[in-house]
Amino acid sequence: MQKTGRSIILLTLTAFLCLVGTNPALALDIYWKPSEKNTGYSQRLYSTTNKVDIQVRVEDAEEVQVNGEEAMQYGDDDSDLWLLDEYILEPGENTISVSVTLDESATDDEDEEDVETSGEITITVFDRPLSGSTRYFEDVGEGITAFDGAVELTLPENAVITRGSRAAWDQGVTVRSSEPLFKLSPKYVPLSPVYTINAPASSYSLSDAGELTLEYDSATGANNGYITVLYAMPNMMYPQAMQRQNSYNLTGDSVTVPFSKTGFGNYLVVRVIQDFQDFYLKQEGKIDLEWARPYIMTLWSRGIMGGLERYPDGRPVPEGFFGLANSSGSSEISITRKEFITMLGKGMRLPVTFSLPHLRTFQDLQGIELEQIQYIEAAMRAGWIPSTAPKDGRLSFRPGDPLTRGQACIIMARALGLQLPTQDRASQQLQAYFPADYQSTYSWNRPHIIAGIQAGLLPLTKKGALQPDKAVTRAEAARMVYKVMKIANKL
């Protein structure tokens, strides 16, 4: 019994001495965390972001490389912690491979073969617009695509992010998907997450404008043409700040909007469910505007046409009304030249630029909105507005004047580039069909009027009556712009 006990003690002591005399392999551990979040490092298998910080823990390392990129040692020379910040992953599965070069103290050791000098982990990036998902792109190139095509920004070749008049040092773009943190207006039903597209700084912009296409929930938005995109500037994500955008290329599951040079910010696809009382005045024994509903609702939902805040007499337009008829509902409201040009410019996606007041073509644009000024000036540059002889060396547009039917034909025909008949042919046709109105036209604008009639842009409500000097109503203007957009494939 005593002999057996001594044998057990000897065996245990021998095993202990063997363990003490052996150098175990030094561990190499790889961890990661999302770069934009202040969270702890882990070895999670999945990520909703593609920009991560990699952490490597290994002893006695002289150099650590992560997928061929050199990591930085954190702390003093004896630290076993190495970091590689802001590493960009690809959508789907990513293998993170680490290789270690040992320092001299480790390589001089006879048991250097027991030190782990390589390792790897796998991180899978979910490529769908889950709430909180983020995609980072190191440059815009000719555009970016995020979340398996749910967000697609298309830009001209060689577009860059600018700071002032120069290319910015940081060309990165971040795209984030999130749920709205506020209650939308009852007139909107959200069909997508909020997509936030940001540059490195709020003062940055793009060298060129582009287009942004967003996917939406087709099941929720099916069979409804009143789908649009709301936009809010960066750091202004609240209901009152979100404005309807000029949306187009509406398909069963996606919609496109312009992405301006300063278009960074928040985008949300919605279905519009609001209606206006103007369309039901006939039921109260007033004028009939029900026919205008499809044109008005399409242009309003797509951010091309807006409701009036005040009637021509200065009284506020009540909530729930669009401002198509006067306050008594007995007659329609005429559209102004500035509003028509702005609507048509938006519908035709006319590029606009900012110009200083002293460089503008027209000298009577003071006191109107900057957006209207930009579209008026752009329409003039595009040749939509006929030139007139200046008075006292100054050109005037008369932005607040009512638009006439004859003027509308000139603008629409030029915007569409319609083929015009000769002046003699146009004069013959107008004189034959509209003998009473023939003398109210000029020879130079008769070809535009004939082209507008033939294209279905100028409705003729009374036989033999052209009424070229009659003011166009807001409802009639909506129909005109809608038809121009349809001919131009801009709907």
Q: Does 190 score more than 60 pLDDT?
A: yes
**Would you say the pTM of this structure is higher than 0.85?**
no
Q: Does 10 score more than 60 pLDDT?
A: no
Where along the chain do the CATH 2.60.220.30 domains lie?
134-272
Query: Which class in CATH covers the domain with range 134-272?
Result: mainly beta
Most confident of 99-103, 108-112, 479-483: 479-483
| Average of per-residue pLDDT across 152-156 | 96
Alpha carbon 256 to chain centroid distance? Answer: 8
Residues present in the chain in total: 491
- Is-contact 491 421, C-beta < 8 A? no
250 vs 192: CA distance, rounded Å: 14
pLDDT at 16: 34
160 vs 173: CA distance, rounded Å: 11
Q: Does 91 score more than 80 pLDDT?
A: yes
CA angle 166, 168, 171 (to 5 degrees): 140
pLDDT band per the 50, 70, 90 thresholds, residue 326: very high
- In 192-351, the DSSP E strands lie at 194-198, 205-206, 210-215, 227-232, 243-244, 254-259, 265-272
pLDDT digits (tens, 9 = 90+) for 410-439: 999 999 999 999 999 999 999 999 998 888
| Average of per-residue pLDDT across 102-125 | 74
Burial class (CB in 10 A: 0-12, 13-18, 19+), 198: middle
Where along the chain do the CATH 2.60.40.10 domains lie?
22-125
318 vs 323: CA distance, rounded Å: 9
pLDDT digits (tens, 9 = 90+) for 276-319: 999 999 999 999 999 999 999 999 999 999 999 999 989 999 99
410 vs 459: CA distance, rounded Å: 15
pLDDT at 111: 54
Q: What number does CATH give the domain 22-125?
A: 2.60.40.10
pLDDT band per the 50, 70, 90 thresholds, residue 491: confident
| Residue among 252, 181, 265 at smallest CA distance from 217 | 252
pLDDT digits (tens, 9 = 90+) for 105-116: 665 555 555 556
pLDDT digits (tens, 9 = 90+) for 20-49: 334 444 589 999 999 988 889 999 999 999
pLDDT at 186: 87
The runs of H, that is alpha helices, within 354-422 are 370-381, 405-416
The single-letter code of the amino acid at 299 is: L
Alpha carbon 309 to chain centroid distance? Answer: 27
